[in-house]
Structure 1
Amino acid sequence: MNYLASLSVDVRPGRARRYWRRPSPGLAGLVYAGSWVVGLLIFSSSAQVHPSGAQLITAYAGHRVPAALQFLFTEGVPALALMVVVWALAGAARAAGERRLALSALATGMAASIISFTQFLLGLDFTGRVIAHGDANSVASLNAAINRLDGPKMFLLAALAVTGIVLARRGRLAAPRWLSYLGAALAMSIVISGVGYLFLLSGPALAAWVSLPLLLLWVTSTGIFLARSTSNRR
């Protein structure tokens, strides 16, 4: 008998699903925070939102590779990890019968992820071609554009946090109360920092020192909570 012909494969739907599982939102949340930490350790970050082109060229001289890796770990990887958490949050809202909130989570979260990934791609161009070319005006303009994109991204993340709060308040998401408080603190602080980055205002932008740690905690905690909720339903 032909050995290959003797092999049998169970193709029943229940069996087939075991070989592919959706990415865990808990793991995605941890990757989100961990990636940010790695990115901040790779290359120093400045609190300035509108430095001159000459300052940027000097700062990035000889550090283009670490700077590019920083964009990868603070914008690229987090964008993909956030998508997983957002998809799980939208799924939980949809399962609870909250279609509008599910759509809100999906729209705001995915839009924020797309902006973040766009910043990653622009960052690669910035640390590669633009810095190498050495034109101060081009360097300053692209850096300003990348920073300004943080504004709408932060507003979208604030809306995502509010969606999570509303779900919990309506009793549709059995989340711990502290997670709602964390989401509220995130929403308020990240709107302030978003104004600073959108309009390149140094004062409000300093709120990012508060909103970023809150964001990492909220995304990670939400991802872990959603992962546990999913496993408990099975």
Structure 2
Amino acid sequence: MTSNTLATPVARPRRATIAIAVAIAGIGYLAAWVIGLSVWPTNPAVTATGPEVLAGLAGHTGAAITQYVATQGIAGLALAVVVAGRLRRPARLTGYAAVAVSLVQCALGVQLAAYLAPAHQVAAAHSAFALLNRLDGVKMLLLAATALLASAPAVRSRSANWIDWTGLALAAAITASGIGYLLLSTALAPAAYVSGVLLLLWVTATAVTSRRM
């Protein structure tokens, strides 16, 4: 009786602290993407050749590095906090896998923008850029699985709210864009414009809610 009585007041502030940290991470995820896309709003097409990749990065080294660090590095770490604080297994597992891919993309993107492109290593830059896009496809498919696994149980139990339905819409849209990036297809890759908005909305909303998914 005594231990339970003492544990409750301690547990509540801890849960509140975790909830605040997760909410901040969700807002940070959104901010990182907004900043990253603002500093360098245009990127070479997924089918860009080596010379086109170098031309696209020419004069944008700092902006490209900032974008990769913000959208893949900082956003990846923020997503890890949201996944840890809001998702249950197995959605947590696929979420962590997406975070790992994102951090690899950050390192590879910085190498491309800071070293390969300025050194005019055409073949290496092309290979790195293609790998970045394919990894983006893998990450998108992992995020699709994460959103589906997190949202589907509530839909099946008829307790879904708008966040769950957004998660299902995200799973469908980001699967299409993920396949496009994985195959370097200009036909499907533009679906990222829709899935990107849904992803930012879903992650941020999931972070600020108190419900585990």
What is the TM-score when the length of structure 1 is the normalising length? 0.80
Gaps of 5+ in 2: 1-5
Work out whether residues 94 and 145 of structure 2, in 8 Å CA contact, stay in contact via their aligned partners in 1. Answer: yes
Picking from 57, 61, 71, the partner of 2:58 is 61
Deviations for 1:34-72, whole angstroms, at most 9, x for unmatched residues? 110100000122361121111121221221111100001
Q: 1: CA distance between counterparts of 2:47 and 2:86?
A: 35
Measured in 2, the distance between the counterparts of 1:214 and 1:30 equals: 15
CA change 1:19–1:158 in 2 (3 A) is closer
* Distance in 1 separating the partners of 2:169 and 2:13: 39
Cα distance change on mapping 1:52 and 1:84 into 2, 3 Å: same
CA–CA distance in 2 between the matches of 1:75 and 1:15?
36
Instruction: Tell me how far 1:19 sits from its aligned partner.
Output: 8.9
Distance (whole Å) between structure 1 residues aligned to residue 195 and residue 80 of structure 2: 19
Q: How many angstroms does 1:205 deviate by?
A: 0.4
Partner residue of 2:142?
A: 156
C-alpha distance after superposition, 1:131-181 (max 9, x if no partner): 122021111110000000011111110111111212323559x662x1122
Give the corresponding residue for 1:145. 131
Task: Measure, in 2, the Cα distance between the counterparts of 1:130 and 1:32.
Answer: 28
Aligned match of 1:129: 115
Q: Distance in 1 between matches of 2:68 and 2:160?
A: 32
* 1:224–1:175 distance in 2 versus 1, CA, 3 Å: farther
**TM-score under structure 2 normalisation?**
0.87
Aligned residue-pair number: 204
| Identical counterparts, % of pairs | 37
Match of residue 222 from structure 1 = 206
Q: Does the 8 A contact of 1:89 with 1:105 survive in 2?
A: no
Tell me the equivalent position of 2:3.
none
The structure number with the bigger radius of gyration is 1
Q: Indicate yes or no: 2:46 matched with 1:49.
A: yes
Flag the 1:47–1:123 CA change in 2: closer, same or farther, 3 A: closer
Note the alpha carbon deviations across 1:182-211, whole angstroms, 9 max, x for none. Answer: 111111010000010001001100100110
Question: 2:202 matched to 1:205?
Answer: no
Distance 1:68 1:167 in 2: 39
In the aligned structure 1, how far is the partner of 2:44 from the partner of 2:150?
Answer: 29
Question: Matched residues in 2 for 1:188 and 1:115: separation?
Answer: 20
Partner of 2:174: 190
State the superposition RMSD in angstroms.
Answer: 2.3
